Amino acid sequence: MTLLNELEAKNLLASYSIHVNPGLEAAGPMEAAEAATRLGFPVAIKVLSGRIAHKSDLGMVALNIPSPDCARGACDRIITAAKAIDPDATIVVETMATPGQEVIAGAKRDPQFGPIILFGMGGVFVEIFKDVSIRVAPIDHAMALEMIGEIKGYRMLQDFRGKKGVDTNALADVLVNISRLMMARDDIMELDANPVMAYEKGAVTVDARIMLKD
């Protein structure tokens, strides 16, 4: 399987009307500082490579970078580490998304059922509790809302202890758009929009991973 780099993956999602946070590719520290200035601080700096899938596990993600100096430093550190694995690695500078409720939206091509869509709570909930719901694609908006309502952590997406609930319609849109993408492109084997930041209004995909059939 071929792994799209983060920027390619997010561009593909964006072309299916899925909101992603803006990002610019940079080859080295100087370019990174420029890109960061253009996007506005704080920024996130991540490795950009089709060969490095678990970038945060390798320490190749730096968040909340406040200044051009810091951007240069972070870029230097990440790119040096990354080149050891992938000589073609560059970096991507992205605006820091406002913290929100993290969820995962994903898809894969199942050998028996074809494209399937997945939704779950993000972060620790998906890793430890595997709190997810699944549907065989295609799905419509109503089915997507049903998926969202089905997970155990659903209450955390609603008004809870004075905290406002998140925009489940926006999340449903993300799922429906992923479903459209999976139905249209049968070369996509696996897809993660993870995390998707869900807000009171709207939702933004902050990181994405897409695997294509060779």
Closest distance of CB 59 from other proteins, Å: 19
Nearer to other proteins, 19 or 109 (CB): 109
Closest distance of CB 1 from other proteins, Å: 7
Closest distance of CB 32 from other proteins, Å: 27
Measured between alpha carbons, how far is 43 from 67 in angstroms, rounded to an integer? 9
Nearer to other proteins, 94 or 207 (CB): 207
185 close to 13: Cβ distance less than 8 angstroms: no
Question: Interface with other proteins by CB under 8 A: which residues?
Answer: 1, 3, 53, 104, 106-108, 110-114, 116, 118, 120, 126, 130, 132-136, 190-192, 194, 209, 211
Closest distance of CB 129 from other proteins, Å: 11
45 close to 82: Cβ distance less than 8 angstroms: no
Measured between alpha carbons, how far is 51 from 63 in angstroms, rounded to an integer? 21
Nearer to other proteins, 35 or 137 (CB): 137
Measured between alpha carbons, how far is 72 from 22 in angstroms, rounded to an integer? 19
Residue 125 has what DSSP assignment?
I
Smallest CA-to-CA distance from 119 within 42, 172, 158 is with 172
Nearer to other proteins, 34 or 183 (CB): 183
